[in-house]
Amino acid sequence: MTSSFEPITGLLATLDLLQISQAGAVMHVRLNRPAKRNAISDALVQQIHTCMINLPESARAMVVSGAGDHFCAGLDLSELVQRDMQGAILHSRMWHAAFDAIQFGTVPVVAVLHGAVVGGGLELAAACQIRVAEDSAYFGLPEGQRGIFMGGGGSVRIPRLMGTARMSDMMLTGRVYDADEGDRAGLVQYRVRDGEGLAKGIALAQKMAANAPMTAFAVMHALPRIVEQSPSEGLFTESLMAAAASNTPEAQARLRAFLEGKAAKVTKS
Ligand code: 1HE
């Protein structure tokens, strides 16, 4: 299944810290700094941003993974220089821009996680819609040990996955969750054996790519915002989004196909 992926050409091919390929509507973006455990340097975060805002129109879903033995070692600590207030805020905002471009981008993203998923690596994974963890994956937030705080959106996104108490414990005590613990805590939606993550991620991306684009848009852009609204506002936003989605020709065609017995039924997987 993975063999049909072809290296991307054009602008995305110039991003040397990413290995980007495409098979049909599915993109595969691999963090490609294995010698540094895919630590996120300024250049890498900028390349992630550039990638996300320049995806081909044919892309409908994406898988992100890491080269080597680890998904991502977080912030490149060798670049952690002392900055003035404004510079430090802007540095964090650069990460926010890149990871927002994942969460609120054009295609849903599956993160395939193995080895270390720590600090900024977990922040990156948390910006994706789906996380698949292999046996080897483990999750840590060593910011406390390093004397820093997170800056890549983790304090907003990670508590929404695992709760503030669990995240505080990780940061204050250095607690590391293994793949099963991360699964139980809500950090991941799928648990697979070592070596099976990419195939699972691609299979999930193929399913997502087959949805009506408006549904993917609604789930990515409306759902997280509805969750943040008051129930009354949320219900109204839901109605607006529902009206917009059902009035597309694609929705009408899909509904007709079901009523004519031409579309798949819902079955147990
Ligand atoms: C790095 C980094 C890095 C590895 N920045 N260079 N993140 C951390 O605190 C995690 C720090 N890293 C580790 O705990 C370990 O490296 C790993 C568990 C991820 C991997 O261990 P291992 O034994 O496979 O590799 P290694 O021998 O530790 O590292 C290999 C090389 O990668 C080595 O460089 P070399 O030149 O000596 O070969 C390491 O220095 C380098 N390396 N991780 C820079 N993180 C927006 S705010 C986000 C805040 C954070 O992310 S804080 C968490 C930072």
Banded model confidence at residue 82, pLDDT cuts 50, 70, 90: confident
pLDDT grade, residue 80 (50/70/90)?
confident
**Atom 15 of ligand 1, nearest CA residue:** 73
| Per-residue pLDDT band at 127 (split at 50, 70, 90) | very high
| Average confidence (pLDDT) over 219-224 | 97
What's the pTM? Answer: 0.97
- With the most atoms of ligand 1 within 8 angstroms of its CB, the residue from 17, 33, 36, 37 to mutate is 37
Active site residue 260: no
Tell me if 66 sits within 8 A of 28, measured CB to CB.
Answer: no
Q: Tell me which residue has its CA closest to atom 48 in ligand 1.
A: 120
Find how far residue 113's CA is from the centre of its chain: 11
pLDDT score, position 37? 98
User: How far apart, in whole angstroms, are the C-alpha atoms of residue 51 and residue 131?
Assistant: 19
Q: How far is CA 240 from the centre of its chain?
A: 26
- Compute the distance between CA of residue 29 and CA of residue 171 in angstroms, rounded to an integer: 29
Ligand 1, atom 13: closest residue by C-alpha: 73
